[in-house]
Amino acid sequence: MADLVVGISDLKVSSNPADSMITYALGSCIAVAVYDPAAKVGGLLHYMLPDSTLDAAKAKDTPGMFADTGIPLLFKSCYKMGADKKRMIVKVAGGASILDESNFFRIGQKNIMAMRKLFWNNNVLIDAEDTGKNVNRTVRLDMSTGKVYVKRAGGQPEEL
């Protein structure tokens, strides 16, 4: 079994059932895992920021950095490998925040909102979600089953 590590601002897609994709220590960032059970094609994105208008050059160079460039690229990359939007299962995790009444550090909340808006506008339903709170999460997508596991810091992996 090959472990494909998805770094921050990165995404990977695969059609190999022997693969397993993993992304570590999500704080305010969000992991989007998609999987088409019929085509057995899936992908994992780890984006960091909500909005690519922040820096057009970075968005072009590293589209996985932003929700609005990373998520479309994740879906398109899966389509190229034979996935179909109607069949795709979408699971998300991350978007945590520190204890902050001033909201200045609440980048996690902004990341969650950006993702929901994007999915809503494109008629994509989120099948499972573990977002918010102040925990760190590690996310794994098993390509042979399409199952997604979330491990919180100090805990055991649990299926999402």
Partner 1 sequence: MKINKRILKSIKTLPPFPVTIQKVMTLAGDPDSSLTELAAVIRLDQAITANILRICNSAYFGLRRPVDNVNDAIMHMGKKNVLRAVVAAGLTRYFRSTKGYDVKGGDLWEHAVAVALMSQICAARISRPDDPRLFTAGVLHDIGKMVMGEFVHEAWQKIQELTESQKYSFLEAEEEVIGVNHAELGGEIALIWKFPDEILKAIAFHHRPDLLADGDAVPWIVYLSNQVCHVMGIGVGTDALAYRAVGDVAGRFGLKQRDLEDMMAQLHKSLQDARELVSIVSAPGKKGRG
Active site residues: 29
| Rounded CA separation 79/36 (Å) | 10
Closest Cα to residue 24, out of 73, 93, 107, 72? 93
Q: Residues in the site for partner 1, rule: CB under 8 A?
A: 5-10, 23-29, 46, 48-51, 54-55, 58, 62, 65, 96-102, 104-105, 107-108, 110, 133-136, 153-154
Q: Which is nearer to partner 1, 9 or 77 (CB)?
A: 9
What is the distance between the terminal CA atoms of the chain, rounded to a whole angstrom?
21
Copy the structure tokens of residue 133.
């709170």
- Minimum CB–partner distance for residue 16 and partner 1 (Å): 20
Cβ nearer to partner 1, comparing 104 with 123: 104
- Rounded least distance, CB 59 to partner 1, Å: 10
Measured from the CB atom, the residue of 154 and 156 that comes closer to partner 1 is 154
Q: How far apart are CA 22 and CA 18, in angstroms?
A: 13
Nearer Cβ to partner 1, position 62 or 77? 62
Residue bearing tokens 């995790």? 93
- Greatest CA separation found in the chain? 46
To the nearest 10°, report the CA torsion of 91, 30, 115, 146. -20
Rounded to whole angstroms, the Cα distance separating 103 from 87 reads 37
